[in-house]
Chains A and B, each alone.
Chain A
Amino acid sequence: MPTALTDEFTDELDELDVGWTETTASNVGAVLAEQTDPPVIGAPSAHVSLDSTPVDVELDPSLEDLRAARTGVTDATLGIAPYGSVVLRTDREPTTEAASLFVDRHVVLLGADDVRPDVTAALRDLAPAFRSERASAIVATGPSATADMGALVRGAHGPETVHVVLLTDR
């Protein structure tokens, strides 16, 4: 169910030119089929089994796979509504960092319940894991970008486009 919080979040995604789809976990396969360009790499999701979608997702990629990959699919553990940011816990699955970084397009799976109202709330959620589990995370806001070449360019070292799949039943 869309809430005021997820509305704020998706409004911010619009501002960032980040695409988004609201769906349920059972329909993720169809959304991925639409939103991914092959070859696709990824990290196992806590929400859905990426092995059982119509899209062929390489979950244990080699460096060659990274070089060839167009799309990466990973979970985000949190969203931050006022910024349209997603939090990627890179310490949970070994390929989350690679699949969200060495690709042209990053497709993010995020539970609607995991959208937080502000940075304070997100950090509060994350802090215990940082202190006790040696957690690492990337707070990603829009695609990678640079202004170093004379104009703003999306897609610097990281992805050029980002798409968020917001799981309304999660």
Chain B
Amino acid sequence: MSTDTPGSDASGLDRAEKAARIRRLLETEGEAIGENTRGFNQGRYDAVAELDDYETYKREAREIKEESIERLPELLDRLRDRVEANGGTVYLADDAADATQYVTEVVADADASTVAKSKSMTSEEIEVNDAITATGREVIETDLGEWVLQLAEETPSHIVAPAIHKSRDAIAELFAERFDPDDPPETATELTRFARERLGERIEAADVGMTGANFITADSGTLALVTSEGNARKTVAATDTQIAVAGVEKVIPTIEDLQPFVELIGRSGTGQDLTSYLSLLTPPVSYPSLDATDPSRPVTADGTDREFHLVLVDNGRLEMREDEQLKETLYCIRCSACSNTCANFQSVGGHAFGGETYSGGIATGWEAGVEGLDTAAEFNDLCTGCSRCVEACPVGIDIPWINTAVRDRINREGESGSVDWLVDGLTPDAETPGLSLRKRFFGNFGTAAAIGSATAPVSNWVAGSRPAGWAMDRWLGIASERELPTFERESFREWFDRRGGAGVPASSASREAVLYPDVYTNYIDVDRGRAAVRALEAFDVHLRVPPVGGSGRAPLSQGMIETAGERARAVREALSPHLDAGRDVVVIEPSDVAMFRGEYDRLLADDNPVATASYELFEYLYGLASDRAASEALRAPESTGVAELAYHSHCQQRTLGLESYTVSLLERLGYDVETSTVECCGMAGSFGYKTEYYELSVDVGDRLGDQFAADGMADRRVVASGTSCLDQLESLLDRTPSHPVEVVAPTPE
């Protein structure tokens, strides 16, 4: 164990290894992963747009899951009664070992030489294949993607489409190598036929069929399986013993409750309205199995004496149910929307962004719950909290919050380190001594920025120097390729005071507002603050810029929940006289608006008066501007000489539905606005600064850069709302991007 960096954050060596691993995945799997996940993601947007009742179904699905988990013990009892009345057996397995022992016994009792298996994440979680194989029997994966992985001895890179990291060519090569066929299959159709034939024979000959379940209804004992290929159907049809392995969280009360899930799961995952087959099986099923020993006999002569074993897996889930932070994970229907919409996942897939079994945003919750914090810690950093998955999730799970909560636990697990004195004073936080130096630095960036500003320009020279770059990389894990932000000698608040405060007296004002001096506006990008003041005052807003500290976004992104909570309480207190006086709070930085409206509800235990009073800058300007007044107050293309803009909205801003205000107002002023369609810029606060994630951040950013360099975009002036996005765009493009308010605000007098 390296001791130079306390806490569970990576040491310099670990960082180098991690960077190398990510680089390798970017090179080998990134292209196939990216193409597929972006296809699924676009499919989701298209498919949900066609569903009129999308939001209603999401709400219903959420309510059913909340109710089911709340009533879980009772539903499990009812389910057991039903399945037993139907003629099946229920086994509630405490953990993976318990589950696999039961399964191997059933397989042995059936004297099965081959188990045909359809795709099931829970069966991967308990590693049932290894357990069965160890008893000298064979397991054959019948899902084509899983079969490819079984042949290649690889693990899934995606929870729904497990082999998306493999190209068609790679699969063709694999088949040629494994089977040495006379006429090697090459096209996707040929490969599918080839696999179907081989698997068809194996399924017919199998004695036990193993499936998972997407949902299980307690009222009837019915398994709902969402599939496309038909292999799950064949697996059940052909064999006379069926084993279904499912997590306990899969139970829902009734058959009717399936409706919202049925309509959401395919759309949310791969963009299919409904997948080809929804199997609603109430086992033991009544149709005859196939007996390969006498193929000339009518199949109905075999009778219908079937066995059914439902193995319900706890493996940490019942504890998750009692865990306020992890509980929401149990609502997950494993649709993969959070993987497909995730900018980082689109670059590296589940082999980097995943644990033992699960991958993508929600995997942190699953892995922390079923495997433990160590496994979750391996990939938890890859969630940047961009929040794009929150609106994509069909059951509305606050996935970034789960990632943050787990990050906080990981931080607190760290050993007490020896270099804390380095950051004493720089990092007045409420965290454990074991927290890594880098997390401390980024988490307390507001303090560092205040000192940096007070000592500028010396601080900028030092930070930009070669030795400092080396030290940053060595001690803090900050990529030496990145330019650190340049601190302004005069802060935004100092400037505002120096100019004499409000330019519009309260007596003649249309409204009174506080302009929140976020850390970046205050110390680094003072220009956008000045522009915001000019724009707001053009609408006769009486402004105040009181001393309000950081929102807590920075510490929260490092998993420092206590510290973020302290910041939130301080912000609430500082704003409280203004809120009491009925003043609005205008916020330039979208990640801070998201904080005020979102995470503050949790951090302030639902006593969050900041949420309803706060507005994103353009949301506020939009509200102030009528058609006529907008062009009188703000600068139109005739005045700015710029007509065409390329706009990148901030990820969290889009999740809040706030992108449209900026676009609408710019268009109303006469600008021609094209927007980016990427989910995130890849910088995501401190993420893109970290040594081991630098290349991933650039890979994600390149997709944005490519869009803005394409035909019709290349000559446009680039504007973006978020600080991180502006930093990333600046490093990607030759053009200097700016906040849109700097385009439209009146020129300084």
Q: How far, in angstroms, from A159 to B276 measured CA to CA in the complex?
A: 11
Docked-complex contact A130 and B233, CB < 8 angstroms: no
Q: Which residues of the partner chain A approach B283 to less than 8 Å between Cβ atoms?
A: 136
Docked-complex contact B254 and A127, CB < 8 angstroms: yes
State the interface size on chain B (CB cutoff 8 A).
70
Q: Does A30 lie at the interface of the complex (its beta carbon under 8 Å from any beta carbon of B)? A: no
Q: How far, in angstroms, from A101 to B148 measured CA to CA in the complex?
A: 22
Q: How far, in angstroms, from A91 to B285 measured CA to CA in the complex?
A: 7
Q: Does B167 lie at the interface of the complex (its beta carbon under 8 Å from any beta carbon of A)? A: yes
Q: Which residues of the partner chain B approach A152 to less than 8 Å between Cβ atoms?
A: 188
Q: How far is the CB of A63 from chain B (nearest CB, A)?
A: 4
Q: Which residues of the partner chain B approach A156 to less than 8 Å between Cβ atoms?
A: 144, 192, 196, 228-231
Q: How far is the CB of A123 from chain B (nearest CB, A)?
A: 5
Docked-complex contact A138 and B233, CB < 8 angstroms: yes
Q: Which residues of the partner chain A approach B275 to less than 8 Å between Cβ atoms?
A: 141
* Chain B residue nearest in CB terms to A150: B168
Q: Does B290 lie at the interface of the complex (its beta carbon under 8 Å from any beta carbon of A)? A: yes
Q: How far, in angstroms, from A157 to B144 measured CA to CA in the complex?
A: 9
**Given A119-B259, A123-B258, A130-B280: A90 and B287 within 8 A (CB)?**
yes
Tell me the residues in window 285-327 of chain B with beta carbons closer than 8 Å to chain A beta carbons: 285-288, 290-292, 295-300, 304
Docked-complex contact A83 and B188, CB < 8 angstroms: no
Q: Does A95 lie at the interface of the complex (its beta carbon under 8 Å from any beta carbon of B)? A: yes
Q: Which residues of the partner chain A approach B191 to less than 8 Å between Cβ atoms?
A: 149-150
Q: Which residues of the partner chain A approach B143 to less than 8 Å between Cβ atoms?
A: 148
Q: Does A158 lie at the interface of the complex (its beta carbon under 8 Å from any beta carbon of B)? A: yes
Tell me the residues in window 36-66 of chain A with beta carbons closer than 8 Å to chain B beta carbons: 60-64, 66
Tell me the residues in window 89-107 of chain A with beta carbons closer than 8 Å to chain B beta carbons: 90-91, 94-98, 101-102
Q: Does B220 lie at the interface of the complex (its beta carbon under 8 Å from any beta carbon of A)? A: yes
Q: How far is the CB of B461 from chain A (nearest CB, A)?
A: 53
Contact of A60 among B166, B229, B233, B298 (CB under 8 A): B298
Q: Does A4 lie at the interface of the complex (its beta carbon under 8 Å from any beta carbon of B)? A: no
Most chain A CB within 10 A, of B143, B171, B192, is at B192
Q: How far is the CB of A7 from chain B (nearest CB, A)?
A: 18
Q: How far, in angstroms, from A142 to B272 measured CA to CA in the complex?
A: 11
Q: How far is the CB of A81 from chain B (nearest CB, A)?
A: 12
Q: Does A153 lie at the interface of the complex (its beta carbon under 8 Å from any beta carbon of B)? A: yes
Docked-complex contact A127 and B255, CB < 8 angstroms: yes
Q: How far is the CB of A115 from chain B (nearest CB, A)?
A: 15
Q: Does B368 lie at the interface of the complex (its beta carbon under 8 Å from any beta carbon of A)? A: no
Q: Does B650 lie at the interface of the complex (its beta carbon under 8 Å from any beta carbon of A)? A: no
Contact of A63 among B274, B282, B292 (CB under 8 A): B292
Q: Does A135 lie at the interface of the complex (its beta carbon under 8 Å from any beta carbon of B)? A: yes
Docked-complex contact A83 and B167, CB < 8 angstroms: no
Q: Which residues of the partner chain A approach B292 to less than 8 Å between Cβ atoms?
A: 63
Q: How far, in angstroms, from A148 to B273 measured CA to CA in the complex?
A: 18
Tell me the residues in window 157-186 of chain B with beta carbons closer than 8 Å to chain A beta carbons: 161, 163, 166-169, 171
Q: Which residues of the partner chain A approach B255 to less than 8 Å between Cβ atoms?
A: 123, 126-127, 130-131
* Chain A residue nearest in CB terms to B194: A149
Interface size class of A (residues with CB under 8 A): 35 or more
Docked-complex contact B287 and A64, CB < 8 angstroms: no
Q: Does B86 lie at the interface of the complex (its beta carbon under 8 Å from any beta carbon of A)? A: yes
Tell me the residues in window 184-205 of chain B with beta carbons closer than 8 Å to chain A beta carbons: 187-189, 191-193, 195-196, 199-200, 204
* Chain A residue nearest in CB terms to B144: A148
Docked-complex contact A144 and B228, CB < 8 angstroms: yes
Most chain A CB within 10 A, of B166, B256, B304, is at B256
Most chain B CB within 10 A, of A63, A94, A148, is at A148
Docked-complex contact B276 and A62, CB < 8 angstroms: no
Q: How far, in angstroms, from A83 to B296 measured CA to CA in the complex?
A: 38
Q: Which residues of the partner chain B approach A127 to less than 8 Å between Cβ atoms?
A: 220, 254-256
Tell me the residues in window 628-677 of chain B with beta carbons closer than 8 Å to chain A beta carbons: none
Digitize A65-81: 1 where CB-to-B-CB distance is under 8 Å, 0 elsewhere: 01100000000000000
Digitize A19-42: 1 where CB-to-B-CB distance is under 8 Å, 0 elsewhere: 000000000000000000000000
Q: Does B733 lie at the interface of the complex (its beta carbon under 8 Å from any beta carbon of A)? A: no
Q: How far is the CB of B274 from chain A (nearest CB, A)?
A: 4
Q: How far, in angstroms, from A134 to B222 measured CA to CA in the complex?
A: 8
Q: Which residues of the partner chain A approach B254 to less than 8 Å between Cβ atoms?
A: 127
Q: Which residues of the partner chain B approach A91 to less than 8 Å between Cβ atoms?
A: 282, 285-287
Q: Which residues of the partner chain B approach A158 to less than 8 Å between Cβ atoms?
A: 229-230, 233-234, 276-277
Q: Which residues of the partner chain B approach A159 to less than 8 Å between Cβ atoms?
A: 230
* Chain B residue nearest in CB terms to A120: B259
Docked-complex contact B273 and A141, CB < 8 angstroms: yes
Q: Which residues of the partner chain A approach B300 to less than 8 Å between Cβ atoms?
A: 60, 94-95
Q: How far, in angstroms, from A85 to B217 measured CA to CA in the complex?
A: 21
Q: How far, in angstroms, from A97 to B286 measured CA to CA in the complex?
A: 10
Q: Does B279 lie at the interface of the complex (its beta carbon under 8 Å from any beta carbon of A)? A: yes
Q: How far, in angstroms, from A148 to B231 measured CA to CA in the complex?
A: 13
Q: How far is the CB of A164 from chain B (nearest CB, A)?
A: 14
Contact of B274 among A62, A85, A96 (CB under 8 A): A85
Q: How far, in angstroms, from A96 to B258 measured CA to CA in the complex?
A: 23
Sort A-B residue pairs by CB-CB distance and give the 10 closest, nearest first: A150-B168, A158-B230, A156-B229, A148-B145, A151-B188, A157-B230, A63-B295, A139-B278, A148-B144, A130-B220
Can you spell out 11 A-B residue pairs with CB atoms less than 8 angstroms apart? Answer: A62-B299, A66-B290, A66-B299, A102-B234, A120-B259, A123-B256, A130-B219, A136-B280, A141-B274, A141-B277, A143-B276
Chain B interface (Cβ < 8 Å from any Cβ of A): 36, 86, 142-145, 148, 161, 163, 166-169, 171, 187-189, 191-193, 195-196, 199-200, 204, 217, 219-222, 228-231, 233-234, 237, 254-256, 258-259, 262-263, 270, 273-283, 285-288, 290-292, 295-300, 304
Q: A85-B274, A136-B279 are in contact. List 7 more A-B contacts (CB 8 A).
A: A60-B300, A97-B237, A98-B237, A135-B282, A146-B229, A148-B143, A158-B233
